[in-house]
C-alpha cells in the first residue's frame, strides 16, 4: 500500500509537470506569434518608407518639380510632403490605431492581422520624411540602438517575477503628458530645447512601457483560447510593442541623429 501511495504521488507530479510544459509551450508559441507580427510590421514600415523616399526624391533635375534645401522632389514627393495630402499621411496611422482599438472585438482574426499590417504600411509612409531629414547612417544607428534596448527591456518584462502593473498608470499618464507637451511646443513655444526634453522623457516612458506591455501581453495568454481569440490577442500585443519600438526609435533619432546638410 505504501508503494502504491508513493507511485501515485510520482504520477501526480509527472502529470503536473506535463501540464506545466504544455502551458509553457503554448505561451512560447503565443509570444512568438506576437513578436513575429511585430517584426513583420516593422519590416513593412521600413520597406514602405524607403520605397516612398525613392519615388519622392530624385537626383535628376529634369524630374524635379521643387527643391527643399538641397533635396529635389518629384511630383510624388511634392504631393506627399508639401501638399494638403501630407496631413492625411501624418494622421492616417492615428486613425488606424483608433479604428483598430474600437473594432478589434468585432473583427475576424485574419482581418485584424491585415489591418495591423495596413497600419504599419501607412506608418512607413508617414515616417518616410525622416529620410529627408537625417542621414542614412544615423537612422541605421538609431534603429540598432532601439532594437538592442527594446530586446533587453522586453526580455525583462517577460522574465521578471515583479508585478509591473502598479507603474502602468503612471506611464500612461506620462504618455498623455508627452502628447500635450508636444502639441503646446508645436503650436505655441517652438523651442528646440523643450523638444529635446520631451524626446528624453519619451525614451524613458516608452522604455518602461516596453517592459510593462510585455508582461501584460504575457498575462493575456490562456491555454483554453481558441484560434480567433489567441490570434487577436497576438495581433493586439504586436501593435502595443510596435508602438513602443517606434516611439523609442523616433526619439533616439531626434536625440542622436545627424541631419542632412
pLDDT in tens, 137-148: 999 999 999 999
* pLDDT (tens digit per residue) in 29-54: 999 999 999 999 999 999 999 999 99
The per-residue pLDDT for 17 is 47
Task: Label residue 197 by pLDDT band (50, 70, 90).
Answer: very high
The per-residue pLDDT for 9 is 41
Task: Label residue 11 by pLDDT band (50, 70, 90).
Answer: very low
Q: Does 7 score more than 80 pLDDT? A: no
Q: Does 174 score more than 90 pLDDT? A: yes
Q: Does 135 score more than 70 pLDDT? A: yes
What's the mean pLDDT in 179-197?
A: 92
Angle subtended by helix axes 227-256 and 109-127, to nearest 10: 10
Q: Where are the alpha helices (DSSP H) in the chain?
A: 2-56, 75-81, 85-103, 109-127, 130-133, 136-159, 165-184, 192-219, 227-256
pTM, two decimal places: 0.90
* pLDDT (tens digit per residue) in 198-214: 999 999 999 999 999 99
The per-residue pLDDT for 31 is 96
User: How far from 23 is each of 16, 20, 30, 220, CA to CA, in Å?
Assistant: 11, 5, 10, 13
Residues recorded for the chain: 261
User: How far from 187 is each of 133, 209, 254, CA to CA, in Å?
Assistant: 21, 27, 19
The 10 Å CB-count burial string (b at 16+, else e) for 237-251 is bbbbbbbbbbbbbbb
Is-contact 124 44, C-beta < 8 A?
yes
What's the mean pLDDT in 90-97?
A: 89
The per-residue pLDDT for 15 is 42
Pairwise pLDDT comparison (64 vs 101), residue with the higher score: 64
Pairwise pLDDT comparison (261 vs 250), residue with the higher score: 250
What's the mean pLDDT in 16-40?
A: 81
Phi/psi at 71 (5° precision): -90, 130
Q: Report which of 242, 30, 222, 260 is spatially closest to residue 147, judged by C-alpha positions.
A: 242
What's the mean pLDDT in 85-112?
A: 90
Phi/psi at 214 (5° precision): -60, -45
The per-residue pLDDT for 22 is 54
Cα angle for residues 118, 120, 213 (degrees, 5° grid): 120
Q: Does 3 score more than 70 pLDDT? A: no
What's the mean pLDDT in 244-250?
A: 98
Phi/psi at 84 (5° precision): -55, -20
Sheet architecture: strand order including 66-68: 57-58, 71-73, 66-68
**Hey, which residues does 106 pair with through a beta bridge?**
none
SS3 state of residue 59: coil
Amino acid at each position: 500500500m505504501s508503494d502504491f501511495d508513493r507511485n501515485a504521488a510520482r504520477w501526480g507530479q509527472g502529470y503536473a509537470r506535463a501540464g506545466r510544459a504544455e502551458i509553457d509551450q503554448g505561451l512560447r508559441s503565443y509570444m512568438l506569434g506576437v513578436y513575429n507580427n511585430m517584426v513583420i510590421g516593422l519590416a513593412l514600415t521600413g520597406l514602405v518608407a524607403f520605397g516612398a523616399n525613392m519615388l519622392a526624391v530624385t537626383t535628376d533635375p529634369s524630374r524635379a518639380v521643387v527643391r527643399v534645401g538641397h533635396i529635389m522632389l518629384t511630383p510624388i514627393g511634392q504631393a506627399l510632403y508639401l501638399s494638403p495630402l501630407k496631413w492625411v499621411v501624418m494622421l492616417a496611422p492615428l486613425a488606424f490605431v483608433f479604428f483598430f482599438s474600437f473594432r478589434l472585438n468585432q473583427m475576424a482574426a485574419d482581418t485584424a492581422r491585415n489591418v495591423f499590417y495596413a497600419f504599419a504600411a501607412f506608418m512607413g509612409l508617414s515616417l518616410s520624411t525622416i529620410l529627408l531629414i537625417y542621414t542614412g547612417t544615423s537612422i541605421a544607428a538609431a534603429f540598432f540602438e532601439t532594437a538592442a534596448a527594446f530586446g533587453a527591456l522586453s526580455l525583462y518584462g517577460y522574465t521578471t517575477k515583479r508585478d509591473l502593473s502598479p507603474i502602468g498608470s503612471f506611464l500612461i499618464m506620462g504618455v498623455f503628458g508627452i502628447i500635450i507637451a508636444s502639441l503646446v511646443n508645436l503650436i505655441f513655444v517652438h523651442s528646440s530645447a523643450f523638444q529635446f526634453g520631451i524626446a528624453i522623457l519619451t525614451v524613458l516612458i516608452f522604455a518602461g512601457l516596453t517592459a510593462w506591455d510585455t508582461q501584460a501581453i504575457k498575462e493575456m495568454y490562456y491555454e483554453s483560447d481558441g484560434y480567433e481569440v489567441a490570434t487577436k490577442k497576438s495581433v493586439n500585443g504586436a501593435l502595443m510593442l510596435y508602438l513602443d519600438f517606434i516611439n523609442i526609435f523616433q526619439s533616439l533619432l531626434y536625440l542622436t541623429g545627424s541631419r542632412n546638410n
